[in-house]
Amino acid sequence: MSPASLLEQFDRDGAVAETGAEALEGLDSRGGFLRKVGVGAGALLGAGALAGAFPRIANAQIPASDIAILNFALTLEYLEAEFYAEAVAQNKVGGGATRRFALVVANHEASHVKFLKGVLGSK
């Protein structure tokens, strides 16, 4: 199994590829550039594979048990989003790379909340 297909299998929402891409920002070497290209290509492959599934997913009925699980996941995502937002806002994460990482994770957690709220709608 190729690294790209492994990434697609385990990074369905693209969060890992996005974090990797953001972590590599600022690298000026040829190796840094090639890593950015590789991460970008993996992200594009993953996005392309998922794009065809969205219409099917959007029109599907969600079973009640899945709604309960998604609501629980949403509760956890709210907790995680608030945790990172507070840590960043109150400067509890230090500086440099640690702060940049915390900002990336805070943004991802907020995106997860937005996504789950969209999936659940008024359910």
What confidence tens digit (pLDDT) does each residue in 37-74 have?
666 666 656 666 665 655 565 566 878 888 899 999 99
Residue ending a domain, among 42, 60, 78, is 60
Q: Could you tell me where the DSSP H helices lie in the chain?
A: 3-10, 15-23, 30-51, 54-59, 64-89, 96-120
Q: Do residues 76 and 117 share a domain? A: yes
Q: Are 29 and 69 found together in one domain?
A: no
What pTM, to 2 d.p., does this model score? 0.50
Q: Cα dihedral sign for 18, 16, 105, 47?
A: positive
Higher-confidence residue of 82 and 31: namely 82
| Domain end call among 10, 34, 60 | 60
Range of 84's domain? Answer: 62-123
pLDDT 10s digits, 85-111: 999 999 888 888 888 898 999 999 999
